[in-house]
Amino acid sequence: MTRVLFLLALAGSLAVELTADDVAGEAKALPAGAGKELVVKLCLECHGTGHFRGQRLSPDDWSDKVYDMIDRGAKANDDEVTAVVAYLAKNFGKDSKVLVNTAPLVELKSVLGFTVAESEAVLAYRKDHPAFQEWRDLLKVPGIDPGKVEANKDLMAF
């Protein structure tokens, strides 16, 4: 019995595919721009955007990641790789800002340095308030560290 439960748990953890609704939601939240459609098509087949949105890499490092994904089964020709790498490097490059109104938890946490609790508070606040217009609006999020908000204001975009 224990063994069966273990196998079921294992099967569950391997089933990483997103539902069509998840894909649509995550696609909508990705920054607009050249290459986005390809990223949606090629990079959401096996996992969500959280796998890459929390990272800030150079074009070379993004290229390495994309080839790593091709090794894992992603299918893309050379032109598609070029377009996907350009999109990732532009939106999740070394100097890319965080779109605070649409960023997922992992990006708020890894790039802006919020704790999990603070990042969750931002997501919860976003649900029933109008979009943030500037960094000071984040000070209204319950439980958020104001010093951290101000220290990271230049990394935020609205």
Q: From 40, 16, 38, 41, select the one nearest 28 (Cα to Cα).
A: 40
CA torsion 91→92→97→102, rounded to 10°? Answer: 80
Among 26, 35, 65, 144, binds ligand HEC (CB under 6 A): 65
Residue of 30, 63, 83, 84 that binds ligand HEC (CB under 6 A):
84
Site string for ligand HEC, 106-145 (x = CB under 6 A): ----------------------------------------
Comparing CA positions, the residue from 51, 39, 42 lying closest to residue 76 is: 42
Per-residue DSSP letters for 13-73? Answer: HH--PPPHHHHHHHHHHSPPSTTHHHHHHHHSSSS-THHHHT----HHHHHHHHHHHHHTT
User: Candidates 21-29, 63-71, 114-122, 123-131 — which segment interacts with ligand HEC by CB under 6 A?
Assistant: 63-71
Among 30, 42, 89, 111, binds ligand HEC (CB under 6 A): 42
Candidates 16, 24, 117, 123: give the one binding ligand HEC (CB under 6 A): 16
- Given the rule CB under 6 A, which residues bind ligand HEC? 16, 42-43, 45-47, 51-52, 55, 65-66, 68-69, 72-74, 84, 88
